[in-house]
């Protein structure tokens, strides 16, 4: 599934006015949004609920170890933004 149907845009064959293009793209985005809401939202919500339940079952030490790689990545990215591409 694509956010915008490129094939339909290419079928037009002529340059579209900006208003026409915006209307066509908005229609495609709205259709994609509805598809995601109806087909994907509940599945993704269930995945997040399952993961959160698993995390809550872990003790504090295990939970901290679970988030340690993400924390290290964030710290590395901040340092590289502040100090450039130096090896830490």
Nearest-10 Cα torsion for 11, 13, 15, 17: -50
pTM of the model: 0.47
Confidence class of residue 19 from pLDDT cuts 50, 70 and 90? Answer: very high
Is the same domain home to 2 and 30?
A: yes
Distances 6 to 29, 32, 68, 74 between C-alpha atoms, Å: 12, 13, 41, 36
Residues in contact with 4: Cβ distance below 8 Å, sequence separation at least 6, in sequence order: 25, 28, 29, 32
Question: What is the average pLDDT across 59-70?
Answer: 72
Query: What residue numbers bound the domain in which 77 lies?
Result: 59-88
Contact 57, 49 (CB under 8 A): no
User: Are 63 and 39 members of one domain?
Assistant: no
Number of domains in the chain: 2
More confident residue, 30 or 68: 30
Identify whether residues 41 and 77 lie together within a single domain. Answer: no
Does 52 lie in the same domain as 69? Answer: no
């Amino acid at each position: 599934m694509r956010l915008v149907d490129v094939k339909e845009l290419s079928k037009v064959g002529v340059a579209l006015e900006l208003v026409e293009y915006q209307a066509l793209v908005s229609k495609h985005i709205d259709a994609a949004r509805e598809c995601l809401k109806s087909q994907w939202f509940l599945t993704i919500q269930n995945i997040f609920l399952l993961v959160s339940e698993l995390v809550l079952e872990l003790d504090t030490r295990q939970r901290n170890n679970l988030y340690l790689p993400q924390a290290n990545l964030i710290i590395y990215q901040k340092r590289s933004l502040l100090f450039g591409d130096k090896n830490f």
